[in-house]
Structures are given as structure tokens and as C-alpha cells.
Structure 1
Amino acid sequence: MINTSKSIIEKVRLPIGKGEPFSFDVKRDDLIDPVISGNKWRKLKYNLLNAADRKNEGVITFGGPFSNHLIATAKAASEANLGSIGIVRGEELNAESNETLKACHSLGMKLVFISRSSYREKEEPIFLKQLHNDFPNYFLIPEGGRNYYGVIGCQEIISETDNDYDHIYLAGGTGTTGAGLLLGASKNTRVNVVSALKGSFLEKEINQLLYLVLNDHEFVETYLDRLVVHNDSHFGGYAKVPTELLSYVNEFFKATDLKLDPIYTAKAMFQMESDYRNGVIQHKDKVLFIHTGGLQGALSWKESITYLQNL
């Protein structure tokens, strides 16, 4: 089992113009492990325990070509003496297409590349039945660890803090971490999930995950009252990294010495800083940023990101 004690609370003071710095806490889940970092381990923990309890040969999961979830699953499964299979979106790709896929392959994950149209059917009964026939003794973990076990694991993030925040900010892909934080956070806390993807589906996804755990629509609504989903800070969509975003990653690192990745965490930090500048976050408010890891995803832009220049 991975030890999460390295996930400290770091105090950050971000200079904002000529006024007082923006002071907030960062939950450093990125320090848990170089690869199985951030929310990736939280979502995998109970899935892997279930696979081991069931005596499965390994786990099978899904992801795009830059998926932090895929690489974390590959390493976590290897350390748990379980096999791993990754179903990857994009039939034109191979194990050498980018740094993430190379790492997955080197960690022993069998990569299966399928078309985007087939990938969209990954939750359909016919697709899942065929997958089970092809790999009968593998435990299925949904994309991004998006299931009951993933949500329960993410609740543990907030239990490692004082849990007295006015605002929590984090990046969102599947909504699993956001759902877990909503379940675990104080009733006075607003949970801000910043979508890394284009579209307005994330609130619905979190709603479904909460219902999966609570099984009561009215009870779910009481949690959703504290949820804020930001759908306009995706910078063009998933893995779209314009020059403006790379500049923000470098400027933030220069000001704080904190590393962000351009696919997920930089977008969430950009939104949080914007909310402070615009008065949504008051100077007196206590704020927590969840650093969900994923820094290996930055390697595809290593020529443009300052903290990667000397690697």
C-alpha cells in the first residue's frame, strides 16, 4: 500500500499586484509518489484491494493518450503484483507515441489501441461483455477510477486536513475526486471543480457518482448545493495547451516554486487565482487547493516549461 503521509499541507503566498498576497493552502497529493500521485492513488486504492481480494489476475482500465490514470494504474498494479491492461483511445497510436504511453509500456501494461468511435462505446453492455470474454480474470476499473471505490478513496484526501475551509479548488476530469471531496468536506465548504475538458457534463457526472454512494436523490441535492463547476477554464479542451497556459505555468512556478501541469492543475489554479482577483474569494477566506499530481503529463511540453529545462 502507498503511504500518503508525504501529502503535506503547504502554505502559499501568491503575489497579486501591489496588494496583499493571495494566501492559501495546497494539499500536496503530488508528493505521494512520483507516478502514482495525487488523486490517482486515491481512486485506485480500493479498486486494487478488491482485485486482490477476488484473486484476479490483474486490472483493466481505459484512458486517452495523455492519461495520468493509465500510468498510475500501470505502476500501482505492478507494485501490487497484478497485471494491467490499458484500453487507449486512438487506433493510430502506439506505445511510442508519447512519454505517457512509453511509461505505461515500460511498467508492464499491455496497451490496446481502439478507434474513437469504439472508445465511446466502452460502457455499453456489448462492449463490456466482449472485454470480459477477452480478459476473463481481470477486474474492471472505469476510466479515471470513476466508480464507488474511487469516490470512497477520494474522501480520504480531506480527512487528512483540518477540514475547515471556505473554498476547495481542484481540477476535474471524471468528477470522481470532486464527488469524494463533497462527501468528506465540511458543510460550510464550497467545492470548486475546474473542468479540464470542453463541455458541461461534469456536474451530471458528479451527481451520478454521489447517488452511487448515497442512493438518495434528495440527499444528493444537499451536497450539490455546495458544488461549483467551472466549465470555461479548459483553454480549448483536453490536452489543448496554448502559449498563454504555458506562460502561466512558468510564471506561477517563478512566483511560488510550485510545479503545475498544463493539462489539469494549471487550469484549476488559473481559475482559483481569477476568482480571488474578481472578489469571489475574499481576503479573509480560508482556501485549499488540491494538487492532484499528473506532472508527468507536462513532459510533452518540456521544451517550453521552465521547471523541466534541466531534466
Structure 2
Amino acid sequence: MHRFATEKSILQQLPHPDWDRRGIRVLVKRDDLIDPYVSGNKWRKLKYILQLARRQNQKGILTLGGAFSNHLLATAAACREAGLTSIALVRGDELTAESNQNLHACAELGMALHFLPRPEYDANGMQAQQAIWMQRHPHCLFVPEGGAMPEGLKGCQEIWDEIAEPVHHVFVAQGSTTTSCGLLTGAAASTTVHVVPVLKGFDSRAEMHSLLSSLLGDPSLVNSYLRQVAVHAGHHFGGYAKSTPELLDFIRDCRQRWDLPLDRIYTAKAFHALVDAVENSAEFDGATVLFLHTGGLFNG
């Protein structure tokens, strides 16, 4: 078994008297157990990206992300393991490698960090920056934020290969939409994919439509997939990387009740949405509900 073996990702069933009475099975796909750094969906997305870099004889990966980006940490660790260099464009020129434990760990793993002013990073500014940095590093494979490319999507689709029973509902935290789109395109037509955006004001459907359109190119197919999506937009707890006493209490309760560790940035918000939905809707009676644990506990 190699370091990032997905066989480490067990299915954990969560007992709950009310859920049991209603015939609801809640299963957690523990992708957080794959690796402390390259955890959760991160290895899923990076697996084929690293293979692509090798096929193209690239010397490293050039990517981008924010101060608490699990993608940056995973890329730094995976590239080090693979013998590739890693370079990151980081949102916020007020930051340094010592601003938080995430950026510090990235630097310790050998990732070169370049901090960009937010206007240059956001929207149209990044397009120009991307071209500049790709010129500077022609022997690096450019990987979009969150691994949003066909190889990342393919890796996330493979999660279903490890689920041996029908799943009626699957819940997942949403950032770049790559994981949620991979889950969606790999799911059975009868499965509802519940996405929980962790960014305040994030338009899940529009972002998923944009990514799927760019990768699939078939408008009717994209619209067909999106009909399987349910969006839970009210669980961001103030916005990205923000939390409240209620969320922190919820994290502690899940750890005590089920020995289920959750992080405050992604997974706790998504699992809170699952619990809220299951407890308040008869739609889930008699159903198997899967929660994809996307890791991120290092930034927990």
C-alpha cells in the first residue's frame, strides 16, 4: 500500500436513535484518513494531475490558492513525494510564509510561495498573472485553483468505485466545485448530490455549470446533470474560514458522539447541513445518505 492509498478511506456508519427509527443510514467516506497533508479529495484530484505532469516531462507544478488552501498544502506534499517542484501564487500580498500554519507547512515542504495583491489575483487580474508566471516557469504544469481540470474531475469520479451499495443522497463541502462536479458526473442518475458552499454568496449552480460546460462541452448533458443537484447555501457560518460558537460546539459534539473529526472551514459546515436536512425532512426516511469527508483537518 503506497502512502496515498485510498484503501485507507473507510466507510463509517453513524448510529443515531432517530435516524435508526426512520430507517436512515448515514455513512461517512473517510477520505481524511488517506494522508494528513494530502487528505480527503485532494489526493483524488492530484493523482491524475501528477501523472499528466510526468507524461509531459514537466519538472513541477504551478498552482494557486488562498491562505488556508488545502489544495496548496496537498500539492506541496504530493510534489515533494513525487520529486517535483511546487510553486504557488497566493492570494494576498500582506501574507508571508509565517502568516499561518498552512503556509508555513507549504514552505517547509519546499513550495515556493509568491504573494499577489488581491486585485491581481481576483477576476480578470489573474488571467494576466497566470500568463506571466507560466512564461517564467515553462517547465511546470499549470493547475487551476482547487485542481479544476479534467484530471481532477476524473479522480473524484472514482470515489464511487469504492462504494458497494446504492446511495440515495451524497453531501459534500464545496469550494472550487471540482469535487462536487466529479461526484455528480460519477453518480447514479437516482442519486441526489447535495452541495454545501462554504463561501458566502457563492453561486453553486452557476459555478458548476461553468466548470462542467468547459470540460464536457454538451449543454444538454450539463443541464441533465445539474437537475440532480441540491444546494444548501445557508451553512457558511459567516463566510470562508469563518466560524461561530455554534459551529465549534457542533464540531466538539461530533467528535464526542461518533469520534468524527471535522474542520471548521469545510467539513463541519457540510456535515451541519446534512444533519439539519436529515432531521427536518421526511425525504430522507429509509434512505442511505453518504457524507464525503474531504479532509482539511490540518487547518481545522
TM-score in same-fold range (> 0.5) = yes
| 1:1-311 pair list within 5 angstroms | 2-14=4-16, 23-121=25-123, 124-162=126-164, 164-279=166-281, 281-298=283-300
Distance (Å, rounded) in 1 between the aligned partners of 2:282 and 2:266: 21
Distance (Å, rounded) in 1 between the aligned partners of 2:24 and 2:258: 11
Distance (Å, rounded) in 2 between the aligned partners of 1:174 and 1:20: 34
Distance (Å, rounded) in 2 between the aligned partners of 1:67 and 1:257: 25
Quick check: 1:15–1:22 contact (8 Å CA) kept in 2?
Answer: no
- The structure where helix makes up a greater share of residues is 2
Shift of the 68–252 alpha-carbon distance from structure 1 to 2, 3 Å rule, reads same
Q: CA RMSD in A?
A: 1.9
By how many angstroms is 1:123 displaced? 7.2
Shift of the 200–101 alpha-carbon distance from structure 1 to 2, 3 Å rule, reads closer
The AA in structure 1 aligned to 2:37 is V
Quick check: 1:63–1:144 contact (8 Å CA) kept in 2?
Answer: yes
Unaligned runs of 5+ in 2: none
Q: Which moved more, 1:80-89 or 1:7-16?
A: 7-16
Shift of the 254–16 alpha-carbon distance from structure 1 to 2, 3 Å rule, reads farther
By how many angstroms is 1:80 displaced? 0.8
Unaligned runs of 5+ in 1: 299-311
Deviations 1:120-178 (A, max 9, x none): 14775432221112212111000011111111111011121025111000100011111
How high is the TM-score relative to the length of structure 1? 0.91
Shift of the 280–267 alpha-carbon distance from structure 1 to 2, 3 Å rule, reads farther
How high is the TM-score relative to the length of structure 2? 0.94
Distance (Å, rounded) in 1 between the aligned partners of 2:191 and 2:180: 12
State the identity %: 44
Distance (Å, rounded) in 1 between the aligned partners of 2:30 and 2:291: 9
1:306 maps to none
Distance (Å, rounded) in 2 between the aligned partners of 1:123 and 1:148: 24
Distance (Å, rounded) in 2 between the aligned partners of 1:100 and 1:122: 26
Shift of the 26–121 alpha-carbon distance from structure 1 to 2, 3 Å rule, reads same
State the SS of the aligned residue for 1:165.
coil
Quick check: 1:65–1:98 contact (8 Å CA) kept in 2?
Answer: yes
Distance (Å, rounded) in 2 between the aligned partners of 1:240 and 1:156: 31
Deviations 1:53-92 (A, max 9, x none): 1111100111111111100000001111100011111111
Distance (Å, rounded) in 2 between the aligned partners of 1:186 and 1:118: 40
Quick check: 2:121–2:129 contact (8 Å CA) kept in 1?
Answer: no
